[in-house]
A and B are shown apart, each in its own frame.
Chain A
Amino acid sequence: MASGTAQHGVGGLTYDSKKRALPPELNILVALIAITVVFELLNRYNFGWLWNDLPFQQGKSFLFNTRDNLDTLFNEQRINIILLQVAITGIIAIGVTQVIILGGIDLSSGSIVGATAMIAMSFAQTATVNGNPNPKAIFGEGFMDLWVLVPILVGLTCGLIAGCVNGLLVAYTRIPPFIATLGMMVSARGVAKWWSNGNPISFPTETYASLSNGDMMGGMTFGVLSWSGQNPALVFFLLAILFHLIMTYTLYGKRCYAIGSNEAAARMSGINIARHKVLVYTIAGLLAGVAAILLTSKTLTAQAGMGVMLELDAIAMAVIGGVSLTGGRGSIIGTVLGALIFSVIISGFTSIQLDAYYQEMVKGAIIVGAVVMDQWRQSKRGRG
Chain B
Amino acid sequence: MSDFILETRGLTKHYGGVHALTDASFTLKRAEHVAIMGDNGAGKSTFVRQITGVEQPTRGEIIFDGNAHFFNSPIAAREAGIEAVFQTLALADDLDVPSNLFLGREKIRWNLGPFSILDRRAMREATMAALVKTGVKIPNLSNTIRNMSGGQRQCVAIARTAAFKSKLVIMDEPTAALGVQETAQVENIIRTLKEAGEPLILISHNMRQVFDLVDRIVVFRRGRIVANLAKEDTDGQDVVSYITGAKTGAEFEGAA
Whether A and B are associated in the same complex: the answer reads: yes
Which among A8, A20, A21, A258 is the interface contact of B132 at CB below 8 angstroms? Answer: A8
Q: Determine whether B92 belongs to the interface, using a CB cutoff of 8 Å to chain A.
A: yes
**Cβ-defined contact, A257 with B138, below 8 A:** no
**Contact in complex: B103, A269 (CB < 8 Å):** yes
- A-facing residues in B62-95 (Cβ within 8 Å): 73-75, 78, 89-95
Whether B105 pairs with A251 at a CB distance below 8 angstroms is no
Q: If the complex has contacts A8-B128, A16-B140, are A270 and B93 also in contact, measured as CB distance less than 8 A?
A: no
Which residues on A sit within 8 Å (CB–CB) of B92? 257-258, 261-262, 265-266, 328
How many angstroms from the CA of A381 to the CA of B93 in the assembled complex? 12
Considering only CB atoms and an 8 Å cut-off, how many residues of chain A contact the other chain?
Answer: 41
Which residues of B, 128-171, contact A by the 8 Å Cβ criterion? 128-129, 131-132, 135-143, 146-147, 149-150
Q: In the complex, which residue of chain A has the Cβ closest to the Cβ of B90? A: A265
A261 to B75 alpha-carbon distance, docked (Å): 20
CB distance from A234 to the nearest CB of B (A): 23
Contact B90 A269 (CB under 8 A): yes
Q: How far is the CB of B101 from chain A (nearest CB, A)?
A: 10
Q: Which one, A250, A271, A384, contacts B117 given CB within 8 A?
A: A250
CA–CA, A261 to B92, complex, Å?
A: 5
B95 A261 Cβ-Cβ under 8 A: yes
CA distance A268 to B138 in the complex (A): 24
A10-B135, A251-B115 given; A258·B125 CB < 8 A: no
Task: Say if the beta carbon of B17 comes within 8 Å of chain A.
Answer: no
Q: Is the CB of B116 within 8 A of A9?
A: no
Some 26 contacts from A to B, beta carbons below 8 A apart, are A1-B125, A6-B128, A9-B131, A9-B137, A11-B137, A13-B139, A16-B139, A17-B128, A19-B140, A250-B116, A251-B114, A251-B115, A251-B116, A251-B118, A252-B115, A257-B94, A257-B95, A258-B95, A262-B91, A262-B92, A264-B90, A266-B92, A268-B74, A269-B105, A271-B104, A328-B93
> Given known contacts A13-B139, A250-B117, A270-B104, what 13 new A-B pairs fall within 8 Å (CB)?
A1-B125, A9-B131, A10-B135, A21-B143, A250-B116, A258-B95, A260-B94, A261-B93, A261-B95, A268-B90, A270-B78, A328-B93, A329-B94
